[in-house]
């Protein structure tokens, strides 16, 4: 368990610049994106804190991924971490784990010379030396660190497995891991096996149907896999991005959150809601 008082690195995030990019901030209030992420995080939070319908091993470890790059996974990971950090009882660590193309630090507007890769290479004594506190009270950042020609391979290393094990050991900590895309590197699939919950971002009317199915097949032995449908159009035709959360038990039954009409919302046992979600997801 980390003694947070020993973490000396700090960064002040520029909330105004983040809001201009569509990133949630502590003072965001109850806007559309904030409401959507409140809905999205609820089942994840229940699983992370052991209050869900069943116990989820490593439920506090949440990996955010996609089939291909540029589908919105980093945007989703950051906003999910921001939303979770608003909770009273948990601290959140956001890991910039797409080590070949790290984006979290660039989007949030900070630089760090050491991070995840440095830890995996044994360049720091303890991973806490890489953590950065922020002016979001319950949010810490774990940057990707130095560039390395074997960066993605390190994600499947024994050092990575041990790090994830240690990160998961604190029940009051939720870790949001922005990972490489599933169909770009096999290391992302190995990484998923050490996570309690997977959130896969799908870009509406862009991600090919075969890619979604192929990516999900790589996750079929995992208990908690959710889908977030990104960049769908609302009924007003505004083109505003919104999210729907579709939960899996393995690769099969739908039983989480559907999306329609501009929101991702509601406990969705209604077959019409399910149909709406999948029609949007697999639209040709």
pLDDT digits (tens, 9 = 90+) for 39-94: 899 999 999 998 988 889 999 999 999 999 999 999 999 999 999 999 988 899 99
Q: Where are the domains of the chain?
A: 30-281
Comparing CA positions, the residue from 169, 221, 191 lying closest to residue 58 is: 169
pTM of the model: 0.85
Mean pLDDT of 14-33: 89
Kindly report which listed range (32-36, 154-158, 254-258) carries the lowest average pLDDT score: 254-258
First to last CA, the chain: 48
**Range from 23-37, 151-165, 264-278 that averages highest in pLDDT:** 151-165
Domain 30-281: assigned CATH number: 3.40.50.300
Question: Mind giving me the DSSP string for 96-153?
Answer: E--TTS--HHHHHT---S--HHHHHTT-SSSGGGG-EEESSTTEEEE---S--TTHHH
- Categorize the per-residue pLDDT at 169 as very low, low, confident or very high, splitting at 50, 70 and 90: very high
pLDDT digits (tens, 9 = 90+) for 216-248: 888 878 888 888 888 766 554 433 344 445 444
Q: How many residues does the chain have?
A: 284
Give the model's pLDDT for residue 31: 80
């Amino acid at each position: 368990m980390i003694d947070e008082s020993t973490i000396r690195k700090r960064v002040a995030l520029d909330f105004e610049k983040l809001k201009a990019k569509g990133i949630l901030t502590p003072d965001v209030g109850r806007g559309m994106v904030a409401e959507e992420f409140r809905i999205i995080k609820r089942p994840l939070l229940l699983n992370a804190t052991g209050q869900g319908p069943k116990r989820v091993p490593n439920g506090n470890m949440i990996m955010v991924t996609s089939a291909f790059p540029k589908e919105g996974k980093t945007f989703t990971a950051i906003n999910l971490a921001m939303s979770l950090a608003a909770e009273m009882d948990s601290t959140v660590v956001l890991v910039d784990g797409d080590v070949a193309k790290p984006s979290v630090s660039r989007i949030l507007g900070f630089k760090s010379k050491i991070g995840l890769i440095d830890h995996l290479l044994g360049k720091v004594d303890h991973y806490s030396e890489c953590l950065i506190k922020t002016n979001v009270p319950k949010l810490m950042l774990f940057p990707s660190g130095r560039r390395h020609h074997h960066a993605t391979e390190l994600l499947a290393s024994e050092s990575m497995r041990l790090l994830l094990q240690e990160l998961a050991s604190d029940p009051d900590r939720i870790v949001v891991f922005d990972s490489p895309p599933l169909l770009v590197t096999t290391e992302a699939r190995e990484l998923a096996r050490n996570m309690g919950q997977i959130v896969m971002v799908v870009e509406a009317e862009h991600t090919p149907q075969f890619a979604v199915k192929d990516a999900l097949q790589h996750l079929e032995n995992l208990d908690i896999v959710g889908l977030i449908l990104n960049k769908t159009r609302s009924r007003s035709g505004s083109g505003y991005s919104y999210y729907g959360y579709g939960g899996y038990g393995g690769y099969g039954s739908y039983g989480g959150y559907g999306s329609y009409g501009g929101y991702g919302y509601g406990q969705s046992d209604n077959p019409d809601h399910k149909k709406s979600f999948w029609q949007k997801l697999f639209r040709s």
